[in-house]
Amino acid sequence: MGFRSRFAALVDVPLMRRVAWHVNRIRGGLDRRFFISLTVGLFVVVGVAALAITLVEKPWTLESFGDSFYWGLTTIFGQGNSSFVTSPAGWAISWLLILFGVAILGTITGALVAAVIDFLLKEGQGMGAAGYRGHIVVCGWNSTARDIIAELKGDEYRTKVVLIHSADRNPAGDGVYYVKGDPSEPNDLHRAGIADAAAAIVFPTDDTNDADMRNILVVMAIETIAPEVRTVVEINNARHAVHFRRAHADEILVTSVLASHLLARSALYPGLTELVTDIVSGGKGSELYRVELPAEFLGMSVNDVSTRLRLEHRATLLSIGRGEEMYTNPPADFRVEASDHALVVAESLGTLAPLKMAPTALAAEIPTASPTVSAAGSAPPAAPNSPAVAPAGTAPLEPAAVSATNGTVGTNHAKVNGKKAGTKKVKRAARA
């Protein structure tokens, strides 16, 4: 690795990017003439003092003037040689130099200290910039956001999280970078590093329809700035799902939909709620992961893949993913193809590689019909032989855990040349 590469790696860290952002911010409102005047004044004072000392005590040569100038600079910085001047006139010049020079230098130093204090205050107040890459941006705050951030903090695959909210203090606590602002404002999204994020999760700040309307603006702002970033949205009213789809949200989650379905199934099959909660919350030896299948699995049947995963990785196969579709309980003659991935339940990732959700390259946008959401706030059952409505959305580079109280009535979208093409609804387990 060359010097240039090492230097680039050194400066390409979150702290350095934050400092660079604050420097640009301060530089925009800086009175450059003030600092230029102070700097010029400092050198003028030192030059006049050096010339006076040379005329009074030293030979009239350029070398003597250089020695006097160097003595003047070191005197201002507190390292001057007091024996350099020996006459009363030289002492007087030295005292005046210290008086004026230190005053000017103190002004410059005070401005630099004020810039550092401003940096620390802005960071503490949520007025800074995150500087992360490959992170998750959380827009808005509610109880679901609190639970999801707690889940992300406890996950073995640590992902940086940035929260955008309008509160005076960071409600997420330590370990989450806080950006105070409006997630529908481009400037605040840029401070959260939305262009470099892996995913954005949007939450309603209250349970009103107005919160959904505001979040439509948030999704539109995200899609305008960073269309390749995956967006997952929690909404209050299922009837608003169509508007979020038009805004190109990747996953749309309705708390009441999944909760009602889960409660209904639990009434028919006791213990189901506890089981699902245990799986999606990383309970007793179980966690959902979307993983890349090893190359040697290519061409195997689903039964062979399931056996190998269980024997070699202590992982239970739930579904095979191919492109944007997930095949749950596929037939026995189903064969693994290149780029297929899997949804598994396991104690940990182990030697398995988490799935990297790269944008899908398609030749053209092929919109498909969206599921109709009933006025009662629940999605109708899927037609036979059609993909089911997904219970949650997938977060890049993360185990696919979802909240047991979140439901989705949305669709997945493939990113195409900065846009997203609508795809069929798929059954997908993921983190909300």
- The pLDDT tens digits for 315-328 are 889 899 998 788 98
The pLDDT, as a whole number, for residue 113 is 84
Q: In the predicted model, is pLDDT for residue 400 greater than 80? A: no
Q: In the predicted model, what is the mean pLDDT of the chain?
A: 76
Q: In the predicted model, is pLDDT for residue 383 greater than 60? A: no
* Locus of tokens 């064969």: 335
Please state the rounded mean pLDDT for residues 135-159.
82
Share of the chain above pLDDT 90, in %: 25
d(CA 116, CA 329): 58
Please state the rounded mean pLDDT for residues 146-168.
82
Q: In the predicted model, is pLDDT for residue 382 greater than 60? A: no
Q: In the predicted model, is pLDDT for residue 246 greater than 90? A: yes
The residues that bridge with 421 in the sheet, in sequence order, are 414
418 sits in the region (left: phi over 0; alpha: psi -120 to 50; else beta) called left
The pLDDT, as a whole number, for residue 269 is 86
345-371: per-residue pLDDT in tens?
Answer: 887 777 677 666 544 333 233 333 333
Residue 266 — very low, low, confident or very high, per pLDDT cuts 50/70/90? confident
Residue at 394: amino acid letter: T
Q: In the predicted model, is pLDDT for residue 313 greater than 90? A: no
The pLDDT, as a whole number, for residue 418 is 36
The pLDDT, as a whole number, for residue 397 is 33
Q: Report domain extents, the chain.
A: 31-124, 130-432
Residue 104 — very low, low, confident or very high, per pLDDT cuts 50/70/90? confident
d(CA 282, CA 267): 23
The pLDDT, as a whole number, for residue 154 is 67
Residue 402 — very low, low, confident or very high, per pLDDT cuts 50/70/90? very low
The pLDDT, as a whole number, for residue 24 is 73
The yes or no reply on domain 31-124 and CATH 1.10.10.10 is no
What are the tokens at 228? 């390749």
Residue 199 — very low, low, confident or very high, per pLDDT cuts 50/70/90? very high
The pLDDT, as a whole number, for residue 284 is 62
CATH topology of domain 130-432: Rossmann fold (3.40.50)
Please state the rounded mean pLDDT for residues 96-100.
85
Q: In the predicted model, is pLDDT for residue 36 greater than 90? A: no
Q: In the predicted model, is pLDDT for residue 202 greater than 50? A: yes
Distances (CA, A) of 226 to 69, 171, 215, 223: 55, 26, 16, 5
Least confident span in 112-126, 147-161, 406-420: 406-420
Q: In the predicted model, is pLDDT for residue 309 greater than 60? A: yes
* SS (HEC) of the chain: CCHHHHHHHHHCCHHHHHHHHHHHHHHHCCCHHHHHHHHHHHHHHHHHHHHHHHHHHCCCCHHHHHHHHHHHHHHHCCCCCHHHCCCHHHHHHHHHHHHHHHHHHHHHHHHHHHHHHHHHHHHHCCCCCCCCCCCEEEECCCHHHHHHHHHHHCCCCCCCEEEEECCCCCCCCCCCEEEECCCCCHHHHHHCCHHHCCEEEECCCCCCHHHHHHHHHHHHHHHHHCCCCEEEEEECCHHHHHHHHHCCCCEEEEHHHHHHHHHHHHHHCCCHHHHHHHHHCCCCCCEEEEEECCHHHCCCEHHHHHHHHHHHHCEEEEEEEECCEEEECCCCCCECCCCCEEEEEECCCCCCEECCCCCCCCCCCCCCCCCCCCCCCCCCCCCCCCCCCCCCCCCCCCCCCCCCCCCECCCCEEEECCEEEECCCCCCCCCC
20-32: per-residue pLDDT in tens?
Answer: 776 776 666 666 7
d(CA 140, CA 162): 11
